Amino acid sequence: MANFLDNSIRFLKGVGDSRALLLQKELGISTMRDLLWYFPFRHIDRSRYYKVGEIRDESAAYIQLQVRIEGVSVQGAGPKARLTAVARDETGVVELAWFRGIKWMAKRLEAGRRYVVFGRPGFFNGRLQMVHPEIEAVGTARERPSGMQGIYSTTEALSSARLGTRGIYDLVCNLWEVAKDHITETIPGRIMSEYNLIPLCEALENIHFPKNQELLAAARYRLKFEELFGLHLGIVSRRQGRIEKSNGFMFNRVGDRFNEFYSGHLPFELTGAQKRVIKEIRADTVTGHQMNRLLQGDVGSGKTLVALMSMLLAADNGFQSCMMAPTEILARQHYATIVNLLGEMDVRTAVLTGSTRAKERNDILEKLEAGQIDILLGTHALIEERVRFANLGFVVIDEQHRFGVEQRARLWTKNHNPPHVLVMTATPIPRTLAMTLYGDLDVSVIDELPPGRKPVKTMHLRDSQRLRIYGFLAEQIELGRQIYIVYPLIGGSEKTDYKDLQDGFEGISRQFPPPRYFTTVVHGRMKAADKEANMKLFKEGTANIMVSTTVIEVGVDVPNATVMVIESAERFGLSQLHQLRGRVGRGGGQSYCILMSGDKLSADARARLAAMVRTGDGFELSELDLKLRGAGDLAGTQQSGLALELKISNLGKDSAIVELCRTAAQKIFDGGYGFDPREIELLEELRSRHMTSTEGDFSMIS
């Protein structure tokens, strides 16, 4: 149904062709609706006027002043020109400066006149200054319904076209006049009252022009709910579609191989968490629906064993399995581990990677198609066209965040009926994020490490305390332990990073001179052969210390290494710090992680390092990471295939709303509301608006 809001923004008063183009290019706003859903990122209290004398420091906040302009002047010419106005109130002087739109602005400034000035104060050469403030002569300001005004984010190009935050606000005012009668409710009344949502029209009005704090809060809540609810309707419908339509293989039997392995080959008792997950997988594979399960478990929690036992279950039921890992090292490591665990058992196992020789490859491919291989390990090589199975029933994907959605999906098509799928990750994802990113998956968690692991002792030291660590490192080396020292590698300044690493390497070599000590180095600029040779020196224990960038790969496993020193730790994200720390603490000895940082730290960096010292729990760290960084940067969000273009919600901060929306969406599919067709139409529209790609539909709601 055509709606007024779908009209081009070009037709709005104050826009026109060139601004419409700019709005589209800079902010992706092309329709009236887009602008109406372009929300202020904050609101400031404009009922309050500050005094110049009150402004103490570079507070980031926007403030409002009432000042008299004393003089206006233009310095410089051409692109370097700048317009300044000296203004004061009874408590002090402030300098107002413009670098763009000088002519236009100069005409509006008049010495001796009083103005309302609004902007972000700062200090420049000790003088209080406001750059590109909004300014209006006293008495001409547009009437506002409340003291609160929205601040819209904008860009340089837009500001130059007089679409700064104020310009956008003016457009929204124009829009509201013509749009307010065309807003139709999107959420069925019963859900609105169950979750205390205000009507959409009221929410939109109050997000742009809040009448008071309470209504602003209610508006935010309603709009966040709407966004997340729309998203989860899509996710639940997709999941439902998979469950209803798929014809999952039945693994009815717990047969010889599973039992033989369990009673005769398991080198240790399964942890409670491992048992629970295996039970969950068993339950999934006898429902007649296809399993699609995400298994999260910290580094070292024993996911491989769960994967292996699931694959044995498949074999017992006459199905083949495969397990795909992101690197060759890892795939071969899995193969070695599994062959070793299985021992004499009658399970035919093979490994296939990019470097498998042609003859061996052909042999594997033949046997696979003839049903003579039960478990195939490998890398991306597994998804190639020529890899055909006789009867693939179970697929495991290790370190799933390293694969794209498409690569994962291609394994599904290796049988006429999609196999059961288990994706595993050691990068913990907070629950509500997992619900959104992988919402059509079921989630299992291994939240328990095998017994006997000692937590890694973690400390944080400043550069000025550096000397203290050398003695400690020497002690550890005396005990026969090995040490990693890792330097950050941040794209863009590769040269300085490389220099840091070189300096560090030389410094360490001086502190720990040969022949008594041996330090080796590995970084991305080395030839592969040199890298490998140096890696080997460390692996074999010849080198005591390895200085490296973060290139130390997933596969590197040196149980004798007990100390991880991370240089410039403030430059790493939390999940990366946690992954690096996971390289130690693998053997029996007490392990240590030392975070070195500069003396001056941002509040965020301090919070990250303090969290690392406080806890070794990957889930707790990932929750915090999400809070500090927002969802956009987290591992997995980019590859998720879900366009996470949330306009108002934040998956980290709004986890409570995510839970509510998921519950409501699920209840709809379970028939809990018994909606009539008109209400279902509403929901369908909401779902399609918030979900860019989904195969789901609402046909199964009764």
| Nearer to ligand ADP (CB atom), residue 218 or residue 446 | 446
| Nearer to ligand ADP (CB atom), residue 228 or residue 424 | 424
Closest alpha carbon to 324 in 311, 341, 314, 343: 311
SS3 337: helix
Q: How far is the CB of 394 from ligand ADP (least distance, A)?
A: 17
- Number of residue whose CB is nearest ligand ADP: 302
Is residue 46 a contact partner of residue 144, using CB atoms and an 8 Å limit?
yes
Phi-psi region of 643 (alpha: psi -120 to 50; beta: other; left: phi over 0): beta
**Amino acid residing at 536:** K
**Amino acid residing at 178:** V
337's tokens: 């581990």
Q: How far is the CB of 426 from ligand ADP (least distance, A)?
A: 5
| Nearer to ligand ADP (CB atom), residue 426 or residue 563 | 426
| Nearer to ligand ADP (CB atom), residue 95 or residue 448 | 448
Q: How far is the CB of 155 from ligand ADP (least distance, A)?
A: 44
Closest alpha carbon to 560 in 536, 529, 588: 588
| Nearer to ligand ADP (CB atom), residue 157 or residue 266 | 266
- Residue corresponding to tokens 């990932």: 622
Report how far residue 241's alpha carbon sits from residue 230's, in angstroms, rounded to the nearest whole number: 17
Phi-psi region of 499 (alpha: psi -120 to 50; beta: other; left: phi over 0): alpha
Q: How far is the CB of 348 from ligand ADP (least distance, A)?
A: 22
Q: How far is the CB of 271 from ligand ADP (least distance, A)?
A: 4
Rounded to 5 degrees, φ, ψ at 341 are: -65, -40
- C-alpha dist (Å) from residue 245 to 242, 291, 422, 699: 5, 12, 19, 12
Q: How far is the CB of 200 from ligand ADP (least distance, A)?
A: 46
Q: How far is the CB of 393 from ligand ADP (least distance, A)?
A: 22
**CB-count burial class (<10 Å; 0-12, 13-18, 19+) for 82:** middle
| Nearer to ligand ADP (CB atom), residue 216 or residue 338 | 338
290's tokens: 């296809």
| Nearer to ligand ADP (CB atom), residue 300 or residue 674 | 300
Strands 375-378 vs 292-297: parallel, antiparallel or unpaired? unpaired
Q: How far is the CB of 446 from ligand ADP (least distance, A)?
A: 7
DSSP 684-695: HHHHHHH-SS--
| Contact footprint for ligand ADP (CB under 6 A) | 268, 270-271, 274, 297, 299-305, 426, 450
| Nearer to ligand ADP (CB atom), residue 106 or residue 270 | 270
SS3 99: coil
Q: How far is the CB of 587 from ligand ADP (least distance, A)?
A: 10
| Nearer to ligand ADP (CB atom), residue 332 or residue 662 | 332
| Nearer to ligand ADP (CB atom), residue 300 or residue 598 | 300
702's tokens: 């009764």
Rounded to 5 degrees, φ, ψ at 202 are: -65, -35
Q: How far is the CB of 265 from ligand ADP (least distance, A)?
A: 12
SS3 288: coil
| Nearer to ligand ADP (CB atom), residue 63 or residue 593 | 593
**CB-count burial class (<10 Å; 0-12, 13-18, 19+) for 269:** exposed
Q: How far is the CB of 206 from ligand ADP (least distance, A)?
A: 48
Q: How far is the CB of 160 from ligand ADP (least distance, A)?
A: 52
Residue partners of 391: CB distance under 8 A and separation at least 6: 318, 319, 320, 371, 415
DSSP 290-324: --EEEEEE-TTS-HHHHHHHHHHHHHHTT-EEEEE
- Which residue stretches of 134-255 are H helix? 156-160, 165-179, 189-194, 200-208, 213-245
Cis peptide upstream of residue 515 (ω within 30 degrees of 0):
yes
| Nearer to ligand ADP (CB atom), residue 130 or residue 305 | 305
